[in-house]
Amino acid sequence: MLIAPASDTTAGKGSGEPKPLLPIGNLAPFFLVTSLFFLWAIPNNLNDILIRQFMKSFSLTRFQGGLVQSAFYMGYFLLAIPAALLMRRAGYKAGILTGLLLFATGTFLFWPAAIVGQYWFFLLALFVMASGLSFLETASNPFIAQIGASESSERRLNFSQAFNPLGAITGAGVGTIFILSGVELTKSQVAARIANNTYAAYLRTETLRVVAPYIVLGLIALVLAAFIWQTKFPVIQSEHEGDADDHGHIRDLFRQRHFVLAILAQFLYVGAQVGTWSYFIQYVQDYTHQPEKIAGYFLVGTLAAFGVGRFSSSWLMQFIPAGRLMGSYALINILLLVIAIAHPGWIGLWCVFGTSLFMSVMFPTIFALGLKGLGANTKIGGSMLVMAIVGGAILTPIMGLISEKTGSIAAAYLIPLIGYVVVALYAFFGSKPRRISF
């Protein structure tokens, strides 16, 4: 059963009927919110292009380039709790609208950042953008999980999250075509341009290439905000928590073992995902000696594999429990990364490429399993799971440092490997709801 009646946001409970995926009367808000999963994936994956572009246009080290992800995911981390507090008072719709406006503001800051030509200004713009995305993710993930039957929440969230890799492919494709110029100067060419006083103009041209895609993204966000403003949203049960006697308590969250472990698993998973893609272009170039444009197209390809994984996993969860499927995929990724680290080159490239297919199930499944049974604490719990995205801010620069210290991008992929080990342990042993006594 795909669709349930509008009034039944917990359809299928206590019955032997198949659990519905979508509530028919709420299809408009469901699909509008699902479109946000597509939207926020675009800047997330433009970051992978920005790292390469800023390393070139600002002459950055790999560690300094990794600060793109740090600025971005710190926005997620710092704004998640304020987003949850706003939504406890005003509901999911208010959180989504606030997020879209903040996101648009950040994208428009790319223009003055390019004019000033300072790396820190771009990092500020990325932080503001991500602050808006923190609102969007804090609102959208639990909204989708709760808009229908609790029993089908993992499937429903995987379905909506399946549009995320389509946005990721779009972001990587737009970045490869419109941001990466394909002009890679040798040391002698740089010296010649410096001697001719043309190097500064080259760097400025490279910097200005990033502006147009972000301005377009900001305009799209404002259009979506207008549609959402005009659409009636359903009242999700947990939205009553601001008026109920029991508002929930953060200390109760830390008595839920499956929730605490979900935060750890999400932190390491996001670090694994972001780090894998952030240095994928560099891995391709270092070990197969392909130009940046070709490496960019490989990135688009691995994101396409991610999309295939998202759509297929939503279907597979009809037959395989979500935790078991995620654990099996984590074990496969452990094997693939062992090969990629031990045998860098074309074999290693295809192994890293393949991890995207199997990582696809992890974020929405960890999120949905972590929210199980939280009741009045659902919004705060959801915000803390979004805060775990800070793993991308912390672990990506660490990968850059490992690469610099060892002289090997392959060695840096030990960080994602550790992440998948923890995800596998969570899937098989830590995801069942269980209270901790203390």
Separation between Cα atoms, residue 379 and residue 364, nearest integer Å? 16
Dihedral sign from CA coordinates of 21, 26, 27, 33: negative
In this predicted structure, the answer to whether residue 93 has a pLDDT above a threshold of 50 is yes
Average pLDDT over every residue of 85-107: 93
Token pair belonging to 415: 């960080």
pLDDT higher for 347 or 147? 347
Q: Which of 91, 82, 48, 86 is nearest to 68 (CA)?
A: 48
Per DSSP bridges, beta strands 3-4 and 22-23 are: parallel
Model confidence, pTM: 0.74
Enumerate the domain spans of the chain.
Answer: 22-232+249-430
Predicted confidence (pLDDT) per residue in 166-217, tens digit: 888 898 888 888 887 777 777 788 888 888 888 888 888 888 888 999 999 9
Query: pLDDT value at position 398?
Result: 92
Q: Which of 352, 336, 361, 350 is nearest to 269 (CA)?
A: 361
pLDDT > 90 in the chain, percent: 41
CATH class of 22-232+249-430: mainly alpha
Predicted confidence (pLDDT) per residue in 261-312, tens digit: 999 999 999 999 989 998 999 999 999 999 888 988 998 899 889 989 988 8
Among the listed ranges 234-243, 258-267, 305-314, which one has the minimum average pLDDT value?
234-243
